[in-house]
Amino acid sequence: MTPLILAALLALAGPVAAAEQSQKAGEVFRFFAEENRTSTALRRVSPAQGSPVPVDVITAEEIRASGAVSLWDLLRFRVGLDVIEGRSNGASNRAVVSVRGIPRDATNELLVLLDGRSVYDPLGGATVWERIPVQLQDIERVEIVRGPNAALYGSNAGLGVINIITRRPVAPLAGEATLKGGTQRLGELAAAGETAGARAGLRLSATTRTQGGAPTAADPSVEGHDFLHDHAGNLRGWTRLGDNTIELLAGISRQDFGKSFGTFPQSRVDSHFQTVRLNRPTGADSSLELSVSRDESSSNDFPDANGRETTTRYWQYDAEGLHTVAWGDGRLQTTYGAAWRYAASASSYLYGATPLQTNRTVRGFLHQSIRVLPAVSIMGGLNQETANAGGYHKDFQTAVLWSPTEEHSLRLSYSRANIKPQIYHRYADFDANAFVHVSGNRQLNPSPLTSYEAGWRGLFRDHALTLELTGFYTEIRDHLNLDQTSGPAFVNLTYDNTNTVILRGLEASLRWRAGPGRSVYSNYTEETVADQDAHAIYLNTTPRHKVNLGFDWALPFNLRTSMNAGWKDAYMADSTSGAAQEAVPAFWRLDARVSWSPASWLEVFVAGQNLEQPYRREYVDGLVVPRRIQGGTTVRF
């Protein structure tokens, strides 16, 4: 497997020089400059070279060529990330995504944003990926920050931030529709349209998708009860009033899916959100952003594992003000602001005698960058936060950047972040089944995280080649655990935070871009995890080594092909929502896509996922990941 992939990459690398010469130097430079800019790391648009934390960007070109079916498919082959396809918590979350180790059902150290708005679940402290109400055709780029960024984003941004940025309508009139079908009874129809002028713009999109259950581990010829029917719609609009720009973002989704346990229940989840954002320039080098958001989700299980019908509803309100200003002839950059959140969850099943639980969070933050010498910058940030469920804490970050040239930068950073408990961790009071009771703990404290990092990023060949190396050491004290407190006839599981977890790792990545639609990449991640309580879910669930490599290449006759291959070291599949464990041996995963565009408005494509083997075990959900083949067509106008 490995020699074939390396040979393919070497064969593609040969024509890079000729491809570079075929484009105008100015156009190529502008393209690379755009690719190396980010808005997430510092909460303002800046070069990735000037970031105090490593940033990885998934572009619109890569998204279109990926063959991805779900959001987490876009993240699978990125450096520092681990993606497991699994039906955690009985299928309510269909993927486990983690950065820098300890993948599990509720990865509450990773903050996920949609256009800067948190989609972090205030109920259990995780990201339920399938419920994020955005379609792939709406995504302009995904920015992945690896490492603590709580000084700007608050608690739970301890190990990283993923910001999903949607397309802003700019075309006078444009639209597209994609029809897709494939194995595992996949059927999908997606459509989007937009219109924009000098003073306003509007984009509407909708997707409906159905997918059958995955094969069962006991007998792959038998389909599991984890089917999915998903319907979603999105709106993004903007209008300009004088110097002010007002944006409206909204989304809605309904999902019906099966759960593969007990009496084979099924669930329905209805979600929707609305965001209004005001952007106002307040000077030549300063701007003000104000935003308010509402997010609501309601889930119904009928029946649950105990044969009962249960309903859980949560809703959240957010408000934030952010001011950025450059002064001192651009040598100083200041970002400061404040945020407020009200989160509530209602469930007669989860919380026993008190069916309504709430949590209010207030925080203020300040970040300052100072260029003390032409090649040296110092950055520092502070976040102060208080919450009903999480208590009071401070997060801070300091970093030194040395950029001897525009193409090279060396960074050293020290960060302190806190991971706060959520509503579910403090107030849970329910019987998971006839023998297991889950209890919250109102004495939980935030888990302080300390991180030391060193990294280098270099650009070569007129910014076409990017190399990056990062080493880190992270310690999480008072880490949140779900521990058994009684048994064996009746087991009581209670949350505590008495554990200490230590993460060490090295991340290396290389990407060679010849221009839009032509790139080659490889990356390597090495991680080790230790903890004082010797929990298997920490020690053994993180693969020690991960290697990814692939390409995206435009061919003659309007053909385009892409390939992504990833090797993952052996690991222990474990779950906080079940007692089972499964040893997963090391494996390769191969995804590929080929498309043909006979006209500028038409594309026909076929893609495959997990092509190396017909079935593979990834998680302890009683299911296996099958080889999948999909095909379809996209029409643009």
The torsion defined by the Cα of 349, 350, 356 and 357, in degrees rounded to 10, comes to 180
Q: How many separate domains does the chain show? A: 1
pLDDT bracket for residue 263 (50, 70, 90)? low
What's the rounded mean pLDDT across residues 553-559?
Answer: 93
- Which pLDDT tens digit goes with each residue over 138-160? 999 999 999 999 999 998 898 99
pLDDT at 620: 85
For 99, phi and psi rounded to 5 degrees? Answer: -125, 130
- Which pLDDT tens digit goes with each residue over 200-210? 999 999 999 99
- Which pLDDT tens digit goes with each residue over 525-550? 999 998 887 776 677 889 999 999 99
Tell me the H-state helices in 330-428: 423-427
* Percentage of the chain modeled with pLDDT above 90: 58
**Which of 221-225, 380-384, 442-446, 495-499: highest mean pLDDT?**
380-384
pLDDT at 19: 39
pLDDT bracket for residue 123 (50, 70, 90)? confident
pLDDT at 90: 56
Q: What's the CATH number where 97 sits?
A: 2.40.170.20
What's the rounded mean pLDDT across residues 597-623?
Answer: 93
CB proximity list for 257: less than 8 A, separation 6 or greater: 91, 130, 226, 227, 228, 229, 266, 267, 269
The domain containing residue 528 runs over which residues? 2-636
- Which pLDDT tens digit goes with each residue over 236-251? 999 999 999 999 999 9
Q: In angstroms, what is the C-alpha Rg of the chain?
A: 24
Distance (Å, whole) CA 137 – CA 205: 8
pLDDT bracket for residue 104 (50, 70, 90)? confident
Q: What is the pTM of this model?
A: 0.92
DSSP-assigned beta bridge partners for residue 484: 493
Look at residue 22 and tell me whether its pLDDT is greater than 50. Answer: no
Look at residue 492 and tell me whether its pLDDT is greater than 90. Answer: no
